[in-house]
Amino acid sequence: MMQHFPSAGESRLERGHRALGEIDGQAGHKVVAALADIAPDFATYIFEFPFGDIYSRPGLDLRSREIATIAALAAMGNAAPQLKVHIEAGLNVGLTRDEIVEILIQMAVYAGFPAALNGLFAAKEVFAQVAGHGPAAKT
């Protein structure tokens, strides 16, 4: 999996666009596009900070970053839309459905059964949406 380390002459915005495309694919770009008419600057912040700065850091590969992100969003219990985007991103960067299910089951211990249950239902929805559409359909 490619890491998005800063390179000479590359802006945070450019690096963020590249990272978002690889990690979230269409799901991430739909979120950003949905902000265009209400908060276009916020879309820029999404490109620059999480994707241009954080996801591009050395130390963790994209797969590991998505494990952490899925776990954190599930534990929050109030971020279902973002959790769905990152479940799809997890599939995009090489997580299997079984691994995602295990991450969500693990959250029952630390975030409670409701958070784990909500995460599992979000995963079920994402898995159904991506069924039969390329690499994300793998188990």
Q: What is the mean pLDDT of the chain?
A: 88
Alpha carbon separation from 91 to 7, 82, 113 (Å, rounded): 27, 14, 23
User: Which single residue is written with the structure tokens 């950003």?
Assistant: 32
> Rounded to whole angstroms, how far apart are CA atoms 90 and 77?
18
pLDDT of res. 9: 77
Query: How do residues 12-67 score in pLDDT, each as one tens digit?
Result: 989 998 898 889 877 777 888 899 899 999 989 988 999 999 999 999 999 999 99
Q: What is the pLDDT of residue 136?
A: 45
Give first-to-last CA distance, the chain, whole Å: 19
Q: How many CB atoms are closer than 10 A to CB 34?
A: 11
The pLDDT tens digits for 67-97 are 999 999 999 999 999 999 999 999 999 999 9
**How many whole angstroms from its chain centre is CA 59?**
18
Q: What is the pTM of this model?
A: 0.84
Residue 1 has pLDDT above 50, yes or no: no
Residue length, the chain?
139
**Residue 137: is its pLDDT beyond 70?**
no
Which of 32, 38, 35, 76 is CA-nearest to residue 50? 32
Q: Cα(98)–Cα(20) distance, rounded to whole angstroms?
A: 24
At residue 7, the pLDDT reads 61
